[in-house]
């Protein structure tokens, strides 16, 4: 997707985030805004993801460490056609899958996270598990969207300081010795 299209999507996301968070007077809209360009570019230009099958093992994974910016995740998926405007209006309502921090009730959530320093440890653990699982099962995964053992990637989005910042630095020590190729933090 070209840059002018991404700029339009980013503007649309700002509108959706405000429309989603304002009625509930909650949802960290400025925290969402701080990651819009990054997530728009990743989501619409680089990530390989089967939106019709969020559980596809060949999907790229992003552990959204700043879970309190959930309105951004939901808005991204709204622009992609997977969350309707009516669903966005249920943000943070009782029994809505669009919670203040994404949980597994929302099918596109990789992990329930927040600003607690756990994003990197979850991402590293998931990458480690996936690496081992798919290396042993690679003969069973011969579909077009299957896991590619040459592109193991670990990506954690962090754009605000974690209250437990040193916890993440300890978690980062697992990334180096296990040498996850394509690891970006």
CATH number for the domain that contains residue 95:
3.40.50.970
Residue 156 φ then ψ, to 5°: -125, 130
- Considering only CA atoms, which of 77, 89, 12, 8 is closest in space to residue 47? 77
| pLDDT for residue 141 is more than 80 | no
Residue 103 structural domain: 3-184
| Number of domains within the chain | 1
Q: Which of 56-60, 132-136, 152-156 has the lowest mean pLDDT?
A: 152-156
Q: How does pLDDT run across 43-58, given as a tens digit for each residue?
A: 999 999 999 999 888 8
pTM of the predicted model, to two decimals? 0.75
**CA dihedral for 81, 3, 114, 155, sign (positive or negative):** positive
Q: What does the block give as tokens for 111?
A: 């992990």
Q: How far apart are CA 118 and CA 120, in angstroms?
A: 6
Q: Estimate to the nearest angstrom the gap between the alpha carbon of 61 and the chain centroid.
A: 7
Contact 136, 129 (CB under 8 A): no
Any residues with CB less than 8 A from the CB of 132 and at least 6 apart, and which? none
Q: How far apart are CA 167 and CA 69, in angstroms?
A: 20
Q: How does pLDDT run across 66-101, given as a tens digit for each residue?
A: 888 899 999 999 999 999 999 999 999 999 999 988
């Amino acid at each position: 997707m070209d840059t002018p299209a991404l700029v339009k999507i980013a503007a649309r996301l700002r509108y959706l985030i405000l429309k989603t968070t304002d009625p509930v007077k909650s949802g960290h809209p400025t925290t969402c805004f701080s990651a819009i360009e990054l997530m728009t570019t990743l989501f619409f230009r680089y990530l390989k993801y089967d939106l019709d099958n969020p559980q596809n093992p060949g999907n790229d994974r992003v552990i959204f460490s700043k879970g309190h910016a959930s309105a951004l995740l939901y808005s991204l998926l709204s622009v992609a056609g997977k969350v309707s405007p009516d669903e966005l209006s249920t943000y943070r309502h009782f029994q809505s899958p669009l919670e203040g921090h994404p949980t597994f009730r929302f099918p596109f959530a990789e992990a329930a996270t927040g600003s607690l320093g756990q994003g990197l440890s979850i991402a590293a653990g998931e990458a480690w598990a996936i690496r081992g699982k798919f290396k042993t099962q690679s003969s069973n995964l011969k579909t077009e969207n299957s896991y590619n053992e040459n592109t193991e990637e670990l990506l954690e989005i962090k754009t605000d300081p974690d209250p437990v910042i040193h916890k993440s630095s300890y978690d980062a020590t697992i990334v180096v010795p296990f040498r996850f190729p394509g690891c970006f933090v």
